[in-house]
Amino acid sequence: MNETEFLDYCKSQLSGPLKDEDVITMLTAWGSIKYAQGYNNALSEKEDIE
């Protein structure tokens, strides 16, 4: 899933108009997801090296 697909999914979960706060929350969530994925990938690569 890419960022655009994630934002489309989030928009489909909302009822009513999209507010700036909603977009900020969605982008913050996306950033957290990608950070966690990167962190987990780095840990698994580190374990492979050791």
The model scores a pTM over 0.75: no
Nearest CA to 11 among 1, 21, 26? 26
The series of mean pLDDT values per 10 residues for the chain, 50 residues long, is 86 88 90 92 82
* CA–CA gap between residue 3 and residue 8 (Å, rounded): 9
Output Rg (C-alpha) for the chain, integer angstroms: 15
Lookup: tokens for 32: 């957290």
Place of tokens 């979960």: 13
State phi, psi for 19 to the nearest 5 degrees: -105, 160
Measured between its terminal Cα atoms, the distance across the chain in Å is: 31
